Amino acid sequence: MASAQARTQARTQAPVQARTQPPVQARTQTRRTQAQRTTETRRALLDATFDALVELGYRATTTTEVAHRAGLSLGALLHHFPTKADLLAAAVGHAFDRRLEEYRQAMAALDPAADQLDASVDLLWSMFSGPTSTAWLELWVAARTDPDLAAAVVAVDRQFMAACKQLYAEMYSAEDGSDDPAHPPIGLHLVYALLDGLALSRLIHGYEPHPTQEVLEAFKAMSHITIAALQQASEPPED
């Protein structure tokens, strides 16, 4: 009798308990598309290549090392980049994107109230003395004896310089859009030649053959003198 009453009570209480329990929310999980997975895998491999170039140098940046750093199998790497040349060619483009983004950020970060020339040289040097420049120089030096890599490096460098020239022109063009006589286009090449040389001379850890900061300060001082002379020369003669 007691057992029958217990079963009856359980049947009558069960619906109430079911109604009073909070609803279980369905867990939604967004599944990545194949294109998203491919993009993420390639980015992981290119980031790993970049890090290996900076930390180990070109020679030690092997496909096995890159796959290990990316947490992927060598087969997965070879699926996306069948040869080391393919991987490095893509890494060149990856380095270009990094360099251009750093350049844009450096130029956008200039304080309008600060001396534009001094601030731009300092910001550019922070870019040229960073890891992106180190990876780029590793590829540049290796390209000297690797025709396939050289073709990729040259193509990317031309893209980079074209973008930098455009930004330089936007910063230093005259009101009518023509070149500012006080800031001729060759000025960009002078700055880059200096910074490239300083960056290359500092590649050996612990050795700095040139007093970098003194060189930069002297360059800025000479640039101010040159710009003032060019501005004066471009002014119309007084009657």
Q: What is the pLDDT of residue 17?
A: 47
**Hey, what's the torsion of the CAs at 216, 217, 222, 225, to 10 degrees?**
140
DSSP calls for 145-196: G-HHHHHHHHHHHHHHHHHHHHHHHHHHB-TTSSBPTTS-THHHHHHHHHHH
Distance CA 14, CA 18 (A): 6
Specify whether the CB–CB gap between 137 and 199 falls below 8 A: yes
Of 69, 70, 87, 91, residue with least CA distance to 78: 87
How far apart, in whole angstroms, are the C-alpha atoms of residue 67 and residue 73?
6
- What is the pTM (predicted TM-score) of this model? 0.76
**HSE value, Cβ hemisphere, 13 Å, CA-based, for 16:** 5
Task: Check whether 8 has a pLDDT greater than 80.
Answer: no
pLDDT tens digits for range 140-198: 999 999 998 898 889 888 988 998 888 888 877 766 666 777 788 888 999 999 999 99
Distance between CA atoms of residues 69 and 63, nearest Å: 10
- Residue 6 pLDDT > 60, yes or no? no
Name 179's bridge partners: 173
Higher pLDDT among residues 177 and 78, named by residue:
78
Is the predicted pLDDT of residue 91 greater than 70, yes or no? Answer: yes
Better-predicted residue by pLDDT, 218 or 159 = 218
